[in-house]
Structure 1
Amino acid sequence: MVFVSLWLISTNAFSQEKDNIIWTSQSNNSSESMPVGGGDIGLNLWVEKGDVYLYLSRSGTFDENNTLLKLGRVKLSLSPNPFEGKTFEQELILKDGYAQISGKNGSLNAQIKVWVDVFNPVIHLDVKSNQKIITQASYQSWRFEDRITKGKENNQNSYKWAPQGIVKTFKDEIAFKNNTVQFYHQNKAETVFDVTVKQQGLEDRKADLFNPLKNLIFGGSMQGNNMVPAGNYTGIYLSKPFKAWMLRSKKPSASNYITIKLNTSKTASISEWEKALNVVNNKNNQKASIKWWNAYWKKSFIYINAKDETANQSARNYQLFRYMLGCNAFGKYPTKFNGGLFTFDPQLTDTTLKYTPDFRNWGGGTHTAQNQRLVYWPMLKSGDFDLMKPQFDFYLDLLKNAEIRTEAAWGHKGASFTEQLENFGLPNPAEYGWKRPADFNKGMEYNAWLEYEWDTVLEFCMMILETERYGGKNIEKYIPLIESSLTFFKEHYTYLAKQRGAKALDANGHLVLYPGSAAETYKMAYNSTSTIAALKTVLERLIEQPSLSETNKTEWTAMLKTIPPISFRTFDGHATISPAKLWERINNTESPQLYPVYPWGTYGIGKPGLDTAMNTFKYDTDVLKFSSHVGWKQDNIFAARLGLTNEAAKLTTAKLKDSGRRFPAFWGPGFDWVPDHNWGGSGMIGLQEMLMQVDGKKIYLCPAWPKDWDVHFKLYAPYQTTVEGTLKGGKLIDLKVLPELRKADIINMIN
């Protein structure tokens, strides 16, 4: 009987099909687009006034200025047009990872399947109709000529508010070639990398520095079965002029197949780039991609069936956001917090920003670590370890540059990774500051928000360590990154102490972490709590590594003893965690005094000091003032980790509720941009932590889960464990733990 009832639950209330997005009317503009993607490609797909549009995006398409350029816009027009009738449907079929558009106009009906090959950089448009029609595919580009970017538009690149002279987005090369439209962007010889290296006094080491922008060429070609070039036209979309290159069917047909092949290469030779493009496999092998997506969804999930509609929305939008993350599973670069692969025309986010579709606030190649971390933390419990590789490799690629920077500035060892970090490992040039005092330390950013903020890299170090524990991943190649990041703190704070006086450590033999920073909020901090919790936790985990040599283990054990204790303060007689021992000013609105709760897990359910952590959440006046569900705020995660069910549910449903845009998971702009991926990531984490928390080998189920939310879930726990359960009527009526021996470690907190 139990198995029958569970089967009925899983096929009805908890079916994935109910999470598909179905639209029965066309869109007004690109802000009402639907994300579609795979591999490392993202599309914004919408139908407007009877025509199908796609924005094309791909991981790693950085121009000279470090703008993450889109690869153009495609417009599909059919004649006679099935989308001019009264029957229309556009559906995102999550299980199989593709979208389908259907239309009926009188006796004519047609379907267009839009999908991206997960294993080859190819976009597929499969057109089928019950009558013969003409298909016209236009490749549209707003980069058909050089364009000067002025004012706030430079927020899309690494110059931001401080361009040094005229900044141009240079034109692409676009032409008909062998019945295709070929398009590419080739970076000029000098890029923002060269400008930044000179600014930061590293020209003598330039040849040793990793440069991702040099010799970069990216683009592709569009072709169709029995389609030929049909000329050019010009137009304007949302105030931005474009030029189009058309392909058209040779004759009417009941089916047509269009593919867009993409290639990104590091080469100075266009012919080499073309050669690599031509060998891209664009055969219709959707079965392999569907198989990948099917496995992706079976790996983990959270399906809610509750009377509270915001709870149901939260689970549905959790799935939709995870779909967007899956579209960059194999990206050369990590999914960006400020829009990922799915940004659209900026004036539809802010009417004053009448810029091209390439615009996103907070840069393209600039990596804001506090924000990026929230995109990647939820991938542990969702079991998406392979998706984390681009983020880990990002830091690993920059390791040498970060070490060179440290040596040049301070003469000591260790990798210094700043908060606003370029994809070549140096501080963002605008944040570094052009109007610096002549004698200001060249290793420092001259910036009130970012100065002395070095510790976010430790969260990525911890994620790396956790992928070994959760997924059994071999992380040996990343150990030098972790060790060098720790070395920086040991060396740098010893170096600073020796500059101030005769002793390198305080009276208790601890490092003096001054000046420091507790996130971007508590500045010029002395013994920042977030830094202390990070160093202690990463060191403890590193020491456990079996591959670590005894010499290194001894070294890190010695450093662990030098980490100072966390400081405390009181509010109305309630002991709370202090953000630092001392600080000089408050610059932002984060709550790093609760970072020992999340991500570091120093305090939590079943651990000493839980009451102190709860007091911090409930009584610290800064925490209360800063509390919100918007953007990168993580109050919902803190509440879940503390077992505060009502607060966690309220904050997480506020965060994961429908975005207010046509696609429910296009949140933002928050503090960043649309779609706000650190908004989605922090929402995912909150829902996961409400359902399952881990501490060593202990697995706590439903530590902050409302009893009236029925749920079917599957999540990952450490030691290569999966936990699948069904909660019905406030009772856990089914539990499947693999390996089975881990069932002994389950602590059910709801029954």
Structure 2
Amino acid sequence: MLSVLFVSLWLNNNTQAQQRNVTWTSQSKNSSESMPVGGGDIGINVWVENGEIYLYLSRSGTFDENNTLLKLGRVKLKLSPNPFEGKTFKQELILKDGYVQITGINGKLNAQVNVWIDVFKPIVNLEVKSNNNIIAEASYESWRFEDRVTIGKENNQNSYKWAPQGIVKTSKDEIAFNGNKIEFSHQNNAETVFDVVVKQQGLESYKSTMFNPLKNLSFGGVMQGENMVAAGNYTGQYLSTPYKGWTIRSAKPSTSNQIAILLKSSRDNNSIENQKYNATKSFAANKTWWNNYWKKSFIYINSSDSLANQVGKNYQLFRYMLGANAKGDWPTKFNGGLFTFDPQLTDTSFKFTPDFRNWGGGTHTAQNQRLVYWPMLKSGDFEMMKPQFDFYLNILKNAEIRTEAAWGHKGGSFTEQIENFGLPNPTEYGWKRPADFNKGMEYNAWLEYEWDTVLEFCMMILETERYNGENIQKYIPLIESSLTFFREHYTYLAKQRGAKTLDANGHLVLYPSSAAETYKMAYNASSTIAGLKTVLQRLTEIKSASEEQKQNWKAMLNTIPPISFREFNGKPTISPAKLWERLNNTESPQLYPVFPWGIYGAGKLGLDTAINTYQLDSDVLKFRSHIGWKQDNIFAARLGLTDEAARLTTLKLKDSGRRFPAFWGPGYDWTPDHNWGGSGMIGLQEMLMQCDGTKILLFPAWPKTWDVHFKLYAPYQTTVEGTLKNGKIESLKVIPESRRTDIINMLK
């Protein structure tokens, strides 16, 4: 009984220490020193500057006519007399309950402001309490009060990127007082980048039947406060961006002020604007949702190594940021999610508006996006994966149309750098492409023949069935179409070269192919082969599939060529392909059979060959890094290389160097860098637990000096919760209990 009590106390203390709040006792210099607050599909940046509270408003799916992911404006809250002009100040992210609390004392005046987002309704709340009567003044500020032409690098925020066609402009919003409310909205123009891209890619005859998420899209919101009245306009400039402000103010001084910002979109299913809103009850329900979110899954590290503790803390903080889009219709973007801030605070040369993010808003870069979503399997956040899966399902028809139009065969072709309507990004497709160039291809040295990133999302879909028993029937056409493309396209290409469609061994000839963006004009890229083999094998295991379907998948599986190998120092290693012409990037796709595909790894056949690849391949060694989307930490964890996995994961998940510890970046992309955080999460999970069929490997790459309390998900609706202290398991809870016999302690 004593030992059980000791463990329980240690867990409680550890939880309290490691899931600690982020607390600041001084105000921020600018928006780069903001805190994230999220809920539902809304994310806001909150900071206090010169005694005033600021909020940047973001929501999933706010794509304008150029496919920029627009912010919904900035809110400023000023209190008079001002409690934040005194000597005592605190801003705290209450992680467990999912909100920010700001307190200030100025002489005898003290006040508290709670900033939170309703998880169940698209409402941002500011709740002000004070011991003396004060006036609250809330302003809505917008830099889109007039049309704004975007030039040069600023177009990297939209789908035109560095090659705009003529004048590109961000259209103005409609902003006005309506009684005591401030209303703001953006209505997309009749012609959007969708129309431009369809014309560019020769698909106008199909246009009326194609999925178009930008058409007639409008979004905005309403800001109002209890007993507040309209109080006029003003102008100003924040950093390099001019803006105009609309203000509402308390009708009379009070000790309690409530301000709500309802965000709206034409895509919303229903309107809640006229419904009675009880902020107190909603706040309580909101806290309950976040409490349950943290109970679902966690990793708390308690170590004498302060950097290891940072890893545990920042794992939780990044998962919090991902939770901001738990109920969104669109995936969380890899290049900042819902929490970007003024771009010149990331790159001083980018003196653009807060709408800017590098690598676009509606453009989908799958190599990056996958790292945001893979960790959600082991964290049990299956419902949060649905927007990413639906992204592909929604654009499937368009992807199939372009395949048929370009090559006359079946299957959905999903390129890298794909728009949210399923066609290649127009700049990557090429505005100055040769007239006779294959119209299905991107005219781009990095992206040509890179089709296989969709396979990782197909695999994630399949894994939600294996992990959580999800019904994935609606996604089977997507998976089948993605596979059909490979069979049909490489048969089509073979017919262009000669009379035979298969090689001497009855295998498809995957040429030209591409091993990630790195090994170009490849013959039988190993990353593609590993993806096709793994997805097809997993499909054959689905219980709901018909026997005919399984036979078709098995038949295709038999046509997939084997992975190729090469030698370094006389030892066998996985080759990135059988042959290739050139290198264009710095990925290591020869290790993709380790992650994400899991063909090689701890406890599996061929582990020595995979380790040789990691340790000896000259390209792998040259490309190794922890920055951005690099996944060497994941490879090391999967291979059971404990010291290396710990070193690289620590570099990934240590404090970002910005005021908020999990605002990593820009890396290769932008700040906050969500594929940086996602790859860090995956690496830490894989250090703790790996799954191979029914086997659950615990601590396959975990340092014995890192005490940990964790709860993670495993296949077959299994959760594993355990504590490790001084290198020994002190408690282990497996649900269902029958799965305990599948646990293998790799520390023994």
TM-score where L is the length of structure 2 = 0.99
Q: Distance in 2 between matches of 1:582 and 1:431?
A: 25
Q: Give the secondary structure class of the aligned counterpart of 1:603.
A: coil
Consecutive aligned runs of 4 or more in structure 1 exceeding 6 Å deviation? none
Matches of 2:655 and 2:394, distance apart in 1: 37
- Cα distance in 2, alignment partners of residues 282 and 697 from structure 1: 48
Find out whether 1:50 has 2:55 as its counterpart: no
> What's the counterpart of residue 221 of structure 1?
222
Counterpart CA distance in 2 for 1:354 and 1:635 is 34
Distance, in Å, in 2 between the alignment partners of 1:588 and 1:557 is 34
Alignment partner, residue 692 of structure 1: 689
TM-superposed deviation, 1:239? 1.6
Alpha-carbon deviations, 1:547-604, whole Å to 9, x = none? 2222221111100000000000011111100000000000000000000000000001
Distance 1:310 1:644 in 2: 19
For the pair 1:351 / 2:352, whether they are aligned, the reply is no
Encode CA deviations 1:292-336: one digit per residue, 9 max, x unaligned: 111100001000000111110001000000000000000110000
The answer to whether structure 1 residue 311 and structure 2 residue 304 are counterparts is no
**1:629-648 maps to which residues of 2 (within 5 A)?**
629-648=626-645
**Residue 19 (structure 1) shift:** 2.2
Instruction: Give 1:732's aligned residue.
Output: 729
Report the secondary structure of 2:709's partner residue.
strand
Q: Residue type of the partner of 1:560?
A: L
- Checking the alignment, whether the CA contact within 8 Å between 1:261 and 1:280 is kept in structure 2 is no
Contact 2:416 2:453 (C-alpha < 8 Å) held by counterparts? yes
Distance of 2:135 and 2:634 partners within structure 1: 53
The alignment status of 1:485 with 2:482, answered yes or no, reads yes
Alignment-mate amino acid for residue 451 of structure 2: W
Query: 2:209 corresponds to which residue?
Result: 208
- Matching residue within 573, 579, 587 for 1:582: 579
Q: Is it true that 1:156 corresponds to 2:153 in the alignment?
A: no
User: What is the distance in 1 between the residues matched to 2:3 and 2:408?
Assistant: 67
What is the Cα deviation at residue 17 of structure 1? 6.5
Aligned to 2:288: 291
Partner secondary structure for residue 384 of structure 2: helix
State the Cα deviation string for residues 468-490 of structure 1 (Å, max 9, x = none). 11111111100000000000000
Figure out how many residues of one structure are paired with residues of the other and give that number: 745
Structure 1 counterpart of 2:551, from 526, 532, 554: 554
Alignment of 1:149-298 (within 5 A): 149-266=150-267, 276=271, 278-279=273-274, 282-284=277-279, 285-298=282-295
Post-superposition CA distance 1:429-452 (Å, at most 9, x none): 000001011110100000000000
Quick one: distance in 2 between partners of 1:399 and 1:670?
Answer: 31
SS in 1 for 2:15: coil
Counterparts of 2:562 and 2:5, CA distance in 1: 54
Question: What is the CA deviation profile of residues 694-715 of structure 1, one whole-angstrom value per residue up to 9, with x for unaligned ones?
Answer: 0000000000000010000000
1:152-195 deviations in Å (ceiling 9; x for gaps)? 00000000011110000000000001210000000000000000
RMSD of the TM alignment (CA)? 1.0
Checking the alignment, whether the CA contact within 8 Å between 1:723 and 1:735 is kept in structure 2 is: yes
Tell me the distance in 2 between the aligned counterparts of 1:749 and 1:612: 20
Residues 120 and 280 in structure 1, CA contact (< 8 A), matched pair in contact too: no
1:34 is aligned to 35
Aligned partners of 2:320 and 2:277: how far apart in 1? 23
CA deviation after TM superposition for structure 1 residue 276, in Å: 3.0
Conserved 8 A contact 1:228-1:248: yes
Tell me which amino acid in the other structure corresponds to 2:672.
Answer: P
Match of 1:662 among 627, 650, 659: 659
Aligned-partner SS, 1:13 = helix
- What is the aligned partner in structure 1 of residue 89 from structure 2? 88
1:381-396 superposed matches below 5 A: 381-396=378-393
Q: Give a deviation string over 1:106-131, Cα, whole Å, max 9, x none.
A: 00000000000000000010000000
In 2, the alpha carbon distance for the partners of 1:302 and 1:148 equals: 46
Aligned amino acid, residue 233 of structure 2: N
Deviation at 1:281, TM superposition (A): 5.9
**One of 710, 713, 721 as aligned partner of 1:713:** 710
Match of 2:669?
672
How do residues 435-474 of structure 1 correspond to structure 2 at under 5 angstroms? 435-474=432-471
The secondary structure found in structure 2 opposite 1:14 is helix
Distance 1:124 1:602 in 2: 48
Q: Distance in 1 between matches of 2:414 and 2:542?
A: 23
Which of residues 526, 529, 540 in structure 2 aligns to 1:532? 529
Query: One-letter code of the match for 2:26?
Result: S
Matched with 1:270 is none
**Shift in alpha-carbon separation, 1:281–1:533, aligned structure 2, 3 A:** farther
Whole-Å separation in 1 of the counterparts to 2:45 and 2:543? 45
Q: Secondary structure at the match of 2:271?
A: helix
| Residue of structure 1 equivalent to 2:600 | 603
Contact in 1 for aligned 2:628/2:675 (Cα 8 Å): yes
Alignment of 1:367-382 (within 5 A): 367-382=364-379
CA distance in 2, matches of 1:135, 1:17: 36
CA contact (8 A) 1:414 1:488 kept: yes
Deviation (angstroms), 1:15: 2.1
The residue type equivalent to 2:558 in the other structure is K
Please give the secondary structure, in 1, of the residue aligned with 2:237.
strand
Deviation at 1:16, TM superposition (A): 5.9
| Mean CA deviation greater in 546-555 or 598-607 | 546-555
Provide the secondary structure at the position in 2 that maps to 1:380. Answer: helix
Cα distance in 2 for residues equivalent to 1:149 and 1:181: 27
Instruction: Give the deviation of 1:606 after TM superposition.
Output: 1.3
Separation (CA, whole Å) in 1 of partners of 2:17 and 2:647: 24
Secondary structure of the structure 1 residue equivalent to 2:96: helix
Aligned counterpart, 1:9: 10
Alignment match, 1:133: 134
Distance 1:280 1:521 in 2: 54
- Residues 69-122 of structure 1, C-alpha deviations (whole Å, 9 max, x = no match): 000000000000000000000000111111100000000000000000000000
Task: Give the CA deviation at 1:266.
Answer: 4.3
Matched, 1:61 2:62: yes
C-alpha distance in 1, partners of 2:201/2:276? 43
Q: List alignment gaps of at least 5 residues for structure 2.
A: none
Of 548, 566, 574, 1:569 maps to 566
The answer (yes or no) to whether the contact 2:664–2:671 under 8 Å persists in 1 is: yes
| Contact preservation (8 Å) 1:521, 1:590 | yes
> 1:282 and 1:45 mapped to 2: Cα distance?
23
Q: Distance in 1 between matches of 2:506 and 2:194?
A: 41
Counterpart CA distance in 2 for 1:280 and 1:141 is 27
SS in 2 for 1:389: helix
Query: Larger deviation: 317-326 or 284-293?
Result: 284-293
- Offset at 1:750? 1.2
Partner Cα separation in structure 1 for residue 715 and residue 188 of structure 2: 44
Distance 1:292 1:672 in 2: 32
Residue 79 of structure 1: aligned partner: 80
**Conserved in 2, the CA contact under 8 Å of 1:220 and 1:277?**
no
Residue 142 of structure 1: how far off its partner (Å): 0.3
Q: For 2:106 and 2:275, how far apart are their aligned partners in 1?
A: 37
Q: Is contact 1:120-1:282 (8 Å) kept?
A: no
Taking the aligned partners of 2:82 and 2:253, their CA distance within structure 1 comes to 13
In the aligned structure 2, how far is the partner of 1:334 from the partner of 1:108? 44
Unaligned runs of 5+ in 1: 268-272
Percent identity (aligned): 77
